[in-house]
Amino acid sequence: MTPDAARELWVVRLGRMAYAEALELQRAVARARISGAVPQDVLLLVEHDPVVTMGRTAKQQNLTTSPELLAARGVELFEVERGGDVTYHGPGQLVGYPIVDLKRHRQDLHWYLRQVEEALIVAIGARGIAGERSEGYTGVWTRGLVDAASHPPRKVASIGVHARDWVTWHGFALNVTTELSYFGLIVPCGIAGVDMTSMSRELGAPVEMRDVERDVAAAFGRVFSLEPRDVSADALQLDAPAPA
């Protein structure tokens, strides 16, 4: 479908931001989207300092490193309201928080998760990496380059979302140039034996975060039939009240 110019995707590039600050920002944007103060869907793009987050279905045994040892390595720990288990965010990883009003699309969270996966598959495909789904799991895997699959599936992107009044927040983490050793601190997404990878590992070359941000924004626009438009965080003019 051709995106309707009246239906935009406001893309906010936040650069490097502490997890706690980004968490409060996305919650504020979600409140404003629910109230109508923000009239368009929003995609926040950010990199975080090292942090482990545990979703509402996380199992404690999947955090294989004590909070004390995490702190000693400079890794923060948060328990949050998103779905899914435990995951890691850090430098070189593109984290995206789509704040999407599903009432304008389709009121179906399973459909939404598949759309997010599709957008990421399209985005990494633009860099020559073949993305795929894994039955029974949420996220994006790859066997290697487009038309040159060469290894068993490795996980390149994780997804965990939350929704209220059919407005989503939380989102995805796409490993671009991520230091993958940090995933050894956890059982990523609660999947024993999963092999985590990054775009740079698959390509065997550095990848520019700015290029991936552009590819991801374009892919989300295409998949959700929206016109991406860069806006600043200040332009959102957040003043929605806190939820009850």
Q: Is 3 part of any domain?
A: no
Q: Is 22 part of any domain?
A: yes
Query: Computed from CA positions of residues 14, 171, 215, 148, in that sequence, does the dihedral angle turn out positive or negative?
Result: positive
Q: What pLDDT does residue 183 have?
A: 94
Q: What pLDDT does residue 59 have?
A: 81
Residue 194 is part of a domain; what is its CATH number?
3.30.930.10
Over 60: is that where the pLDDT of 4 sits? no
pTM of the prediction?
0.92
Distance CA 30, CA 99 (A): 6
Q: Is 120 part of any domain?
A: yes
pLDDT tens per residue, range 185-197: 998 888 888 999 9
Is-contact 200 207, C-beta < 8 A?
Answer: yes
Tokens 């390509």 identify what position? 203
Q: What pLDDT does residue 190 have?
A: 85
Reduced to 3 states (helix: H, G, I; strand: E, B; else coil), residue 60 is: helix
**DSSP 8-class letter at 61:** G
| Domain with 211 in it | 8-229
Tokens 């965010």 identify what position? 89
Distance CA 195, CA 201 (A): 12
Rounded mean pLDDT of 165-189? 95
Q: Which of the residues are catalytic?
A: 189
Q: What pLDDT does residue 1 have?
A: 39
Tokens 């290029």 identify what position? 211
Q: Is 238 part of any domain?
A: no
pLDDT tens per residue, range 24-53: 999 999 999 999 999 999 999 999 999 999
